[in-house]
Amino acid sequence: MGIVIMQGHTPDGFYMGKDGVIYSKRTGYFVNNDATETLIRYITRTRAEEDRADELLFWGTRGASCKDVQSAIGQFIFVQNKCREYTKRKMYHLTYSPDQFEKQYLDGNPGLLEGIAMRQSEVLFSQGFQVCYAAHVDSEKGVHIHYAVNSVNYYTGKMLNYTMRFNGMLNAVMTEISYRAISEYLGKVHPIACVYNEYNPVQL
């Protein structure tokens, strides 16, 4: 449960290695020109001949247009083109999977879930990274949230340094955001360690 870097093959023929790098069956490292579009269209369920559109609950962006998917893709690519070479990683694909406590309140409650997705995406966006988020529900995983994160910082042009320590801190923050949102929804405070205000990924 919590936040993880996606691993395993997807229907589009790309997968996440244990090192967090996006690989493609066709090109090896996922640095080809359509890398950003492939990932964003996968999580927003807007691929050509899409057959899983019914799994999508909602999608949105931080730092890019949410009027339509193509505009968002173009703005992610604009930052990548201005800030670095094509030979490096373009995106990170993360998912947040609620635990059993969370699921009892999030299942069938898309409004609460969307509020959590917006707050969670703000963590990375506030540090200078564009985020596209989308929530899915399926019979295997239940409800979960995908995050397509631009690996280039739009303020500094530097790459996101995604380490194990970063993942651990991010997971703690994402979980607290979800628990706090549910507590607010229930009108009471759920006991959970306060880590959000201490979190500063720039220092990782």
Pairing status of strand 2-5 against strand 91-97: antiparallel
Please indicate, yes or no, if residue 47 is contained in any of the structural domains.
Answer: yes
> In 151-181, which positions are buried (b, 16+ CB within 10 angstroms) versus exposed (e)?
bbbbeeeeebebeeeebebbbbbbbbbbbbb
d(CA 189, CA 73): 38
Tens of pLDDT, residue by residue over 68-93, are 999 999 999 999 888 765 457 788 88
Any domain includes 168:
no
Question: What's the chain's average pLDDT?
Answer: 79
The predicted model scores a pTM of: 0.80
pLDDT of residue 26: 41
* Beta-strand pair 91-97/142-150: antiparallel
Strand spans (E) along 86-189? 91-97, 131-138, 142-150
User: For the chain, what is the domain count?
Assistant: 1
Whether 14 maps to a domain, the answer reads yes
* Domain assignment present for 184: no
196 within domain boundaries: no
Give the per-residue pLDDT at 127.
93
pLDDT in tens, 145-175: 999 999 999 988 888 887 888 888 898 899 9
| Domain contains 55 | yes
Give the structural domain span for 41.
2-159
Residue 189 lies in a domain: no
Instruction: State the Cα–Cα distance between residues 53 and 42, nearest whole angstrom.
Output: 10
The CATH code of the domain that includes 52 is 3.30.930
- Percent with pLDDT over 90 in the chain: 49
The residue ranking higher by pLDDT, 12 or 122, is: 122
Residue 64 in any domain: the answer is yes
For the segment 137-151, what is each residue's pLDDT rounded down to a tens digit? 988 889 999 999 999
For 147, other C-beta atoms within 10 Å of its C-beta total 26
pLDDT of residue 74: 95
Give me the pLDDT at residue 2, please: 60
